[in-house]
């Protein structure tokens, strides 16, 4: 199934003007809470997690616009 994700770079907060992408397999959020946040659309969580060096700074989820939170963890899909 496909989900819609927020897609932006250096965006601590998201709002109605934030770009979104459809037909994603999963949504990713990475960065440092309150300082820097990147949101992405990926095919699978395992794909990005295997390439990402610091797991604590990465969250991945599989529901529409689930990468909207300012917090990185705890991450509830």
Q: Tens digits of per-residue pLDDT, 1-35?
A: 799 999 999 998 999 999 999 999 999 999 987 78
* CATH code at 3-67: 2.10.60.10
pTM for this structure? 0.86
Q: Are 41 and 65 in contact (CB under 8 A)?
A: no
Tell me how crowded residue 50 is: count the other CB atoms within 10 A of its CB: 8
Spell out the domain ranges in the chain.
3-67
Separation between Cα atoms, residue 21 and residue 54, nearest integer Å:
25
């Amino acid at each position: 199934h496909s989900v819609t994700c927020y897609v932006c770079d250096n965006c601590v907060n998201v709002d109605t003007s934030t770009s979104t992408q459809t037909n994603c397999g999963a949504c990713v959020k990475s960065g440092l809470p309150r300082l820097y946040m990147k949101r992405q659309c990926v095919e699978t969580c395992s794909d990005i997690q295997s390439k990402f060096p610091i797991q604590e700074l990465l969250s991945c989820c599989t529901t529409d616009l689930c990468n909207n939170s300012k917090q990185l963890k705890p991450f509830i899909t």
